[in-house]
Amino acid sequence: MEQQAQLKDGRVALVNYGKDYGKLVVIVDVLDQNRALINAPDMVRSQMNFKRLSLIDIKIDINRVPRKKSLIEAMEKADVKNKWENSSWGKKLIVQKRRAALNDFDRFKLMLAKIKKGGLIRQELAKLKKENAA
Amino acid sequence: MAPKAATGRTSRNPDLIRGVGKFSRSKMYHKRGLWAIKAKNGGVFPKHDPKPAAAETPAKPPKFYPADDVKKPLANKRKHKPTKLRASITPGTVLILLAGRFMGKRVVFLKQLTSGLLLVTGPFKVNGVPLRRVNQSYVIATSTKVDISGVDLGKFDDQYFEKEAEKKKKKGEGEFFEAEKEEKKVLPDDKKDDQKTVDAQLIKSIEAVLDLKTYLSARFSLKSGMKPHELVF
């Protein structure tokens, strides 16, 4: 079995509930059995219950509770943003966000594109069927 | 009392509290310059002779005295405020009609009329919706906009859409049945031409955008899984 993301200082997590839903944060300290101290470049350092976090497969190299500046440096060094956006989980979330922000017109164009794609696939399939039958 | 100024002049005596002015009567006398007016008029406050009363026509006794005293209803002087147009609706916005004969049609918004209703057109050639008035409440505004700059909308107002006053028909039995057959209302040619001129410009701007014409000719409907409160229009 693959090793699960270990909970340690420096583990990157995704907030899955609450005001900061969808943000990537770094666990900079563990407060007690249920809570962690988290920090991110665009938020104030705060505590959060583990139930609100989903651990991600990325970790950065920091000491316990680093200053904001060194946190940002460490995140840049580990290239958290790019690793996240290239991971399959990260890609899925990006697509979800894109779909949710579609305009009515965009949804219409999407529908036309799907129909067209389906049509092309069916054409190819028909060709292959014909070849096979012959 | 001195006559009021034509321009709205505020009182020279600010309120300390409601009912209590800052300045006393003697101070106000001085502030208003009544001493100067009196001085100009030789020590006396100027009096205007009452205007000669217009010669009264002898009132005719009314023909009819009602049997009971009927109370007159209080006069209602309230004025309507102009209907506020939603910020998302600007000239050229594509709207989705939610009710009526053209329910679900996507339509171009032209302007808001003085009655508060929205003037809207299909364009007619694209989806069959003519120049029409529509209420803001029965409309979803999308964020798609069409360029509407070349269209002249000056002649369209609520009067344009008024029903034509029906000519009074004589009630004769034979004529009654014949008249009913001719009731069909035909749209006058000048209204058809208005539609054509407005749409000509619009269709040019619509065809400039890919797929916009097919978009406008299709109706909107909720499909399985679509949650209106989560959709971005």
Using 50, 70 and 90 to split pLDDT, how confident is the model at B1? very low
Give pTM, 2 decimals.
0.70
Using 50, 70 and 90 to split pLDDT, how confident is the model at B145? very high
Q: Does the beta-carbon distance from B214 to A112 stay under 8 Å?
A: yes
Q: What is the 3-state secondary structure (H, E, C) of chain A?
A: CCCCCCCCCCEEEEECCCCCCCCEEEEEEECCCCEEEEEECCEEEEEEEHHHEEEEEEECCCCCCCCHHHHHHHHHHHCHHHHHHHCHHHHHHHHHHHHHCCCHHHHHHHHHHHHHHHHHHHHHHHHHHHHHHC
SS3 B27: helix
Count the neighbouring beta carbons within 10 Å of the beta carbon of residue B189: 8
CA angle A46, A23, A13 (to 5 degrees): 75
Q: Which of B155, B72, B65, B77 is nearest to B110 (CA)?
A: B155
Q: Is the alpha carbon torsion for B61, B63, B69, B74 positive or negative? A: negative
R_g of chain B, CA atoms, integer Å = 31
Distance from CA of B152 to the nearest CA of A (A): 26
Q: Tens of pLDDT along B36-64?
A: 888 888 777 778 888 877 767 777 777 88
Q: Does the beta-carbon distance from A100 to B230 stay under 8 Å?
A: yes
Q: Tens of pLDDT along B150-179?
A: 888 888 888 888 887 766 655 555 555 555
Average pLDDT over residues B103-121: 93
Chain A residues with CB under 8 Å of B106 CB are: 104
Count the neighbouring beta carbons within 10 Å of the beta carbon of residue B174: 7
SS3 B200: helix
Nearest to B233 among A100, A104, A112 (CB): A104
Look up the ipTM and state it: 0.75
Nearest to A108 among B215, B230, B232 (CB): B215
Q: Tens of pLDDT along B96-109?
A: 999 999 999 999 99
Please report the residues numbered 70 through 109 in chain A whose beta carbons come closer than 8 angstroms to any beta carbon of chain B.
100-105, 108-109
Which residues in chain A land under pLDDT 70?
1-2
